[in-house]
Amino acid sequence: MKKHIGNTVVAALLLLGSAAAQAVTLPGPLVSPQWLAQHRAEVNIVDVRHDPASFTKAPAFTTEKGVKSLTGFGGHIPGALLLDFGKVRVPRMVDGHEVKWMLPDRTAFQSLMRSIGVEAGRPTVIVPEGASGADLDMAARVYWSMKVYGDNHLAILNGGTTGWLEQGLAYDTAAAPDSKGTWVASAPRMKYVASSRDVAKAIGTGVQIVDARPMPFYVGLARKPIVGSAGHIKGAVNLPPDVRTSAQGGTHYLTPAEYTSIFRHLDINASKPSITYCNTGHLASGAWFVLSEVMKNPNTRLYDGSMYEWTAEKRPVVGLH
């Protein structure tokens, strides 16, 4: 009897060891459709989009001269969990005044991720729609939020669902699963977050402040209505969205070598301590992802309130006037 129990325990330990050995390891902050197709049963697939209705809508294709092309977006990767981007950012009180589109607190963000079915103890691949750079920046925002709350096992599907569909991989139109996850948010890691005070202190100190908006906003030719003044934060360099991604088979983030070449033209140093910002923290998430994750700069923070908060506080900007 004792021998039988001992053998059972050994077998169980071997099984646990085997399972641990087989646990999937993400190849980096970006994964390809081929990699995800091979490992989708081993990861959380978080599909983030601004139009949740498209999750259950069939995609449309046309075939011309034997080439099949995606003409209408819809559907999702089998097994994907649906995350409405409209729930990823919330109003929060900062120094006695409300700032919109901010990172939820720990309890609220954990509840959100659990509500869509994200499980603890497994890597998460975040899937954007992939039709534009703004889609990728939505995924980067989710990535940054999860990383702030302690998760290091994260990646973005380069090309998103659009790239997946254009490669002819299997898709589903079933409703999102109604399941409760077990994902756990830890205390926020503030080394990834910058406040208005942090940005003000950083000006002129050697910290690189990166404006992630299109150039017309940076120079002051254009202004979002929610931003009080046109222009940029003093000393900021511009990393506009149109040089952060490439649209081929779904919109992709670029390679480190490509960013290195681009940065030379924009006077951006990939190794400097950096703070990224935009109008509301959306586009800044993409710039943060490029610097922090693709270029491996651990000293990169995101200014969550961005120009919306900065100008609401009547802080100075540099522009045409």
Give the Cα separation of 74 and 9 in Å (integer). 48
Instruction: Evaluate if residue 11 carries a pLDDT over 50.
Output: no
| Residues 282-305: tens digit of each pLDDT | 999 999 999 999 999 999 999 999
Same domain? 308 vs 195: yes
pLDDT at 23: 76
| Residues 231-242: tens digit of each pLDDT | 999 999 999 999
- Percent of the chain at pLDDT > 90 equals 87
Q: Domain for residue 84, yes or no?
A: yes
pLDDT at 10: 38
Q: Domain for residue 68, yes or no?
A: yes
Same domain? 94 vs 44: yes
CA angle 164, 57, 161 (to 5 degrees): 15
Domain final residue, candidates 134, 166, 198: 166
Same domain? 135 vs 220: no
| Residues 88-136: tens digit of each pLDDT | 999 999 998 899 999 999 999 999 999 999 999 999 999 999 999 999 9
Residue 252 belongs to domain with CATH number: 3.40.250.10
Q: Domain for residue 180, yes or no?
A: no
**Can you tell me which residue has the tokens 């120009």?**
307
Same domain? 154 vs 214: no
Q: Domain for residue 243, yes or no?
A: yes
Q: Domain for residue 134, yes or no?
A: yes
pLDDT at 248: 78
Domain that holds residue 58: 25-166
Give the Cα separation of 313 and 290 in Å (integer). 28
Same domain? 110 vs 155: yes
* Nearest Cα to Cα of residue 176 among 127, 129, 110, 117: 117
Q: Domain for residue 17, yes or no?
A: no
Give the Cα separation of 157 and 48 in Å (integer). 11
Q: Which amino acid is at 90?
A: V
Same domain? 285 vs 228: yes
| Residues 17-76: tens digit of each pLDDT | 333 434 799 999 999 999 999 999 999 999 999 999 999 999 999 988 878 789 999 999
Instruction: Evaluate if residue 154 carries a pLDDT over 60.
Output: yes
Same domain? 262 vs 138: no
Write the burial class of residue 23 (CB in 10 Å: 0-12 exposed, 13-18 middle, 19+ buried). Answer: exposed
How many domains does the chain divide into?
2
pLDDT at 21: 38
Domain final residue, candidates 133, 166, 199: 166
- Tell me what the mean pLDDT of segment 310-319 comes to: 96
Same domain? 274 vs 233: yes
Q: Domain for residue 282, yes or no?
A: yes
**Can you tell me which residue has the tokens 């670029």?**
254
Q: What is the 3-state secondary structure (H, E, C) of the chain?
A: CHHHHHHHHHHHHHHHHHHHHHCCCCCCCEECHHHHHHHHHHCEEEEEECCHHHHHCCCEEEEECCEEEEEECCCECCCCEEEEHHHCCEEEEECCEEEEEECCCHHHHHHHHHHCCCCCCCCEEEECCCCCHHHHHHHHHHHHHHHHCCCCCEEEECCHHHHHHHCCCCCECCCCCCCCCCCCCCCCCHHHEECHHHHHHHCCCCCEEEECCCHHHHHCCCCCCCCCCCCECCCCEECCHHHCEEECCCEEECCHHHHHHHHHHHCCCCCCCEEEECCCCCHHHHHHHHHHHHCCCCCEEEECCHHHHHHHCCCCCECCC
Give the Cα separation of 229 and 278 in Å (integer). 13
CA angle 148, 142, 25 (to 5 degrees): 80
Round the average pLDDT of the chain to a whole number and report it.
Answer: 93
Same domain? 152 vs 30: yes
Q: Burial code of 118-154, b = ≥16 C-beta within 10 A, e = fewer?
A: bbeeebbbbbbbbbbbbbbbbbbbbbbbbbbbebebb
Same domain? 80 vs 150: yes
Q: Domain for residue 63, yes or no?
A: yes
Instruction: Give the strand pairing for 60-64 and 124-127.
Output: unpaired
Same domain? 110 vs 199: no
Write the burial class of residue 10 (CB in 10 Å: 0-12 exposed, 13-18 middle, 19+ buried). Answer: exposed
Same domain? 145 vs 40: yes
